[in-house]
Amino acid sequence: MSKNILVLPGDGIGQEIVAEAVKVLACLRDDYGLDIDMDEALIGGVAYDAAGHPLPEATLNLAKEADAMLLGAVGGPKWEPLDISVRPEKGLLGLRKELGLFANLRPAILYPQLADASTLRPEVVSGLDIMIVRELTGGIYFGQPRGVRVLESGEKEGFNTLVYRESEVDRIVRVAMDIAMKRNKRVCSVDKANVLECTEMWREVAVKVGADYPEVELSHMYVDNAAMQLVRAPKQFDVMVTTNMFGDILSDCASMLTGSIGMLPSASLDEHGKGMYEPIHGSAPDIAGQGVANPLATILSVAMMLRYSLDEDNMAERVERAVNKTLDQGLRTPDIYSKGTQKVGTEAMGDAVVAALREG
Ligand code: IPM
Ligand code: MG
């Protein structure tokens, strides 16, 4: 039976980059017999404009039925004045929560062809291959109570709650451990156990789970140190596992080690491996509509989808090889451009990947 992919372009450059990733999926379907059908739905600001909500009922229903989802990005200045409850970001957060996509895998891999695009010295980043495992449906992003209240004095007070249950920590650390078993068998759990009770408990649970994986070397690091170590000596890390907000911040940081946030894909998985796949970057309103955004993070997200949700490792490798070949040819979108390479736009980059894919 064919697998159903829900395509959710969203806002800003989301439209442009997803169009290129869809070309890749279509090529796999038409040339290599990938048995899929694709639907498209609205999410984010465009959904708010069309349906009055960033995650319309119709989109949520299609998402629940899909085998996997491909998302572009959400948000933009146009929707910033809206109440936080209907901002585009709520669409994305709602989808993650409603579908139980608790495990967010964010690989940071340096393509050797891009060593010059990193702001760090090549010897610091060459060979870099980190997997950040970010908890995605809990923590301060979703904790209650939250809000802004007016005190008796008339002053406003804003508050959010960092909250984790043992079971939530347990399951995300297990995901990290399982991934580490297929890699270099090292997990660094990142917390702020010296200050925050919630993450002190996180560390305790991580230690308990670690006992079930005697082959994995488990270490712990405070988040401030982890941020520093990521730019100082990033190759010390294999798998990092952390809370929703720390993971949000550290994965942006890790992305720049690889030259551009435009290169990094992600997978958000539920308990059964159903997933949503998206680039880790945002909607980049500053360059939206100009045809210059890098589609590779989204195309590489398709590779993750093939691997984690569609059980098509061979096809995933095909896509990754095609991306590599395109980089070998010297094609670069502006974000990864360096002297001696050829600057191209979003469409030309996508077309080049598809051409490389066709060649096999
Ligand atoms: C990300 C983004 C989102 C997040 C935003 C758009 C809600 O920054 O996926 O990293 O904070 O999780
Ligand atoms: Mg982020």
The phi and psi torsions of 238 (rounded to 5 degrees) equal: -110, -75
- The CATH H-level superfamily of 108-261 is Isopropylmalate Dehydrogenase (3.40.718.10)
DSSP label at residue 2 = P
Q: What is the pLDDT of residue 360?
A: 82
Indicate which atom in ligand 1 lies nearest the CA of residue 93: 7
Percent composition of the chain: helix, strand, coil (DSSP 3-state, to 5): 50, 20, 30
State which of 71, 79, 89, 251 you would mutate to test the pocket of ligand 1, scoring each by most atoms of that ligand within 8 A of its C-beta: 89
Q: What is the pLDDT of residue 278?
A: 97
* Arithmetic mean of pLDDT, 306-319: 96
40 lines ligand 1 (CB under 6 A): no
* Confidence tier at 157 by pLDDT (50, 70, 90): very high
* Arithmetic mean of pLDDT, 286-291: 97
- Whole-number percent of the chain with pLDDT over 70: 100
The tokens for 348 are 């030309």
- From the CA of 253, which ligand is nearest? 2
CB of 45 closer than 8 Å to CB of 282: no
* Confidence tier at 49 by pLDDT (50, 70, 90): very high
Q: What is the pLDDT of residue 273?
A: 87
CB of 35 closer than 8 Å to CB of 3: yes
280 lines ligand 1 (CB under 6 A): yes
What are the residue boundaries of the structural domains of the chain, listed by start?
1-102+270-360, 108-261
92 lines ligand 1 (CB under 6 A): yes
- The per-residue pLDDT of the chain, averaged, comes to 96
Q: What is the pLDDT of residue 47?
A: 98
Q: What is the pLDDT of residue 89?
A: 96
- The pLDDT of residue 118 is above 90: no
* Arithmetic mean of pLDDT, 28-54: 98
Q: What is the pLDDT of residue 1?
A: 83
Indicate which atom in ligand 1 lies nearest the CA of residue 245: 11
Q: Which numeric CATH code is attached to 1-102+270-360? A: 3.40.718.10
Q: How far is CA 58 from CA 7, 65, 69, in A?
A: 13, 11, 14
How far apart CA 242 and CA 231 sit, in angstroms, is 17
- The pLDDT of residue 30 is above 90: yes
* Arithmetic mean of pLDDT, 72-78: 97
* Protein residue with its CA nearest to atom 5 in ligand 1: 89
How far apart CA 36 and CA 98 sit, in angstroms, is 24
* Arithmetic mean of pLDDT, 107-119: 89
Q: What is the pLDDT of residue 96?
A: 96
248 lines ligand 1 (CB under 6 A): yes
* Confidence tier at 115 by pLDDT (50, 70, 90): confident
CB of 40 closer than 8 Å to CB of 9: yes
* Confidence tier at 344 by pLDDT (50, 70, 90): very high
- The pLDDT of residue 305 is above 90: yes
Give pTM, 2 decimals.
Answer: 0.94
CB of 55 closer than 8 Å to CB of 45: no
- The pLDDT of residue 87 is above 90: yes
Indicate which atom in ligand 1 lies nearest the CA of residue 278: 9
Provide DSSP, 111-149. -GGGGGGSSS-HHHHTT-EEEEEEE-SSGGGT-SS-EEE
* Arithmetic mean of pLDDT, 279-300: 97
Q: How many CB atoms lie within 10 A of CB 239?
A: 27
- From the CA of 276, which ligand is nearest? 1
Q: What is the pLDDT of residues 247-288, one digit of tens each?
A: 999 999 999 899 888 999 999 999 998 999 999 999 999 999
Residues near 24 by Cβ (< 8 Å), separated by ≥ 6?
A: 299, 302, 319, 322, 350, 353, 354, 357
Q: What is the pLDDT of residue 191?
A: 98
Q: What is the pLDDT of residue 53?
A: 97
Q: Determine the distance separating the centroid of ligand 2 and the alpha carbon of 251, expressed in angstroms.
A: 7
Q: Determine the distance separating the centroid of ligand 1 and the alpha carbon of 339, expressed in angstroms.
A: 32
On the CB side of 236, CA atoms within 13 Å amount to 15
